[in-house]
Amino acid sequence: LTTCVDGACLAIKSYVGHSQALVRQGTRLLFVPQIISISRKEYTCPNFLGLPDLLKQYLPPSIEMLSPTLDARKSERALRQSYLRLGLQFTSLVTVKQAWNRAVEGQRAWEQSAYNELPSEDMLQILVLGPRYLTDDPFLSGNLRAHLESLGAQVYTASQVPDEISLELCKSVNKR
């Protein structure tokens, strides 16, 4: 976290630090997407928009980066095309399409399983809110989830709440 510029947020500092650690361990190819948007009507922060360019400043020139542009403001078809172009650098179109379909099915199954966890009425239930990169990461969160669970709580994060519910509830939050 200390090798990145002071003005960078925790997410960027952790990404840079993790990438540097991977390079020290011998990694020569990194997946560093340019994430423009993860929702139809929103942009990510400017730091994430420029992540591939920023990261290049902290890594040796010999390190290769795969940097597809991910933009959910466009159609799902356009997003799929971005992934397909990336996959075609490594294998055939048939294999890439099969991988895409398996990934979509796997994502849906994971989301459904996360939403289906029914709360136990006998346990204290805690919803930990915050950016998912923080709440779902044991290192960045200080292992908060495991600690709360060790105290007997049933812990939930935003990743266990369907996006439709999260988006609806966000409308009622005062953003000032």
Q: What is the pLDDT of residues 13-23, one digit of tens each?
A: 889 999 999 99
Q: What is the pLDDT of residues 4-15, one digit of tens each?
A: 777 788 888 889
Instruction: Pick the closest to residue 30 from 11, 16, 44, 46 (CA basis).
Output: 16
On the CB side of 12, CA atoms within 13 Å amount to 24
Task: Work out the mean pLDDT of the chain and round it to a whole number.
Answer: 85
pLDDT at 92: 96
Domains of the chain: which residue ranges? 10-92, 124-170
On the CB side of 70, CA atoms within 13 Å amount to 16
Q: What is the pLDDT of residues 119-168, one digit of tens each?
A: 667 778 888 888 888 888 888 889 999 999 999 998 888 777 777 777 77
Q: What is the pLDDT of residues 73-99, one digit of tens each?
A: 887 888 888 889 999 999 999 999 999
Model's pTM, two decimal places? Answer: 0.69
Q: Under 8 Å CB-to-CB from 65, ≥6 apart: which residues?
A: 29, 30, 31, 32, 52, 55, 56
